[in-house]
Amino acid sequence: MQLRERPILVTGGAGFVGSNLVTRLVREGARVTVLDDLFTGRRENLPDGIAFVHGSVCDAALVERLVADHELTFHLAARNIVVSTRNPREDFETNIGGTLNVLLAARAAGNRRVVYTSSTSVYGNPRHLPINEDDHLSLLTPYAVSKLAGENYCMAFYESYDLPTTAVRYSNIFGPGQDPANPYCGVVAKFLESLLAGKAPVIHGDGNQSRDFTFIDDAVEATLLAGTSDRSLGEVFNVGTGVETRVNELAATLIALTGARVTASHTDRRDVDNIRRRVVNIEKTRRALRWVPEVTLEEGLKRTVEWQRARTTPAAARAGA
């Protein structure tokens, strides 16, 4: 991927996806700087050998200085769907205003390359499955609105200023490093936390809602390809698996993998992200980026269970000491 010694900026790099991306970049020999306000990210998530700047993408002057010093920016900084729904103004300022700051800085620095991480939330409840990148969009949350706005700004800067931009739409990423202590983490981490504590996982709704669960290593690989391939410029790509999994099936698989003697329980539907079915078509990503996911859901869940057990066991031992 020709990343060795390349100066690369990762906004939101201390979060779950960001820190995994940073770790991979360091392994590839890149010179990495992370910008993160630590709203949900954690400094200890990051590997040694990187430069860390505690700050926000809402700080236009800071963003302009940092982007100018790097050839490529992976822009992951954002408020998540829960925070965005509770505080739409903060969502607007961070997700839209912060993205505009990054793009303006990239243009001012001489058209630095930007990869923007979006979300399959922009599809809402789709009319057809699997979902293609050019299918109808249904914006059901402030988060979906702001994520699509960021995509549109990226495409507008590509068309208007020849700024090399790419957007990737993530679908329910999970894996090692997703901290269940974070109240905004995904369903896999929440279920696993309950199961390893001997408690039943709690499913919102009837559990027949489906998602396209994507392992973190596959998502990172797709993101890197989006940042290094000329075929990605000015394009938007789905990052998923093309496999639809019901939440009931997810819970059953995790119960079997952990050996927990519990049965999943059910509660009311969530106030946000009430999507009934989701599975994305990844054919465009496969053709353009030569990318296919390599980790199956069951294998990814196995790795996640092992990681969570490894970090839980020492903590339990310390507590009992």
Active site residues: 143
Tally helices (H) and strands (E) across the chain: 11, 13
CB 275 within 8 A of CB 125: yes
Closest CA to 113 of 9, 35, 222, 26: 9
CB 73 within 8 A of CB 115: yes
Closest CA to 148 of 186, 104, 116, 185: 116
* Largest separation between any pair of C-alpha atoms in the chain: 62
Report CA dihedral (64, 70, 71, 72) to the nearest 10 degrees: -80
- Between CA 63 and CA 78 the distance in angstroms is 14
- Between CA 1 and CA 261 the distance in angstroms is 45
CB 151 within 8 A of CB 122: yes
- Between CA 220 and CA 215 the distance in angstroms is 9
CB 292 within 8 A of CB 239: no
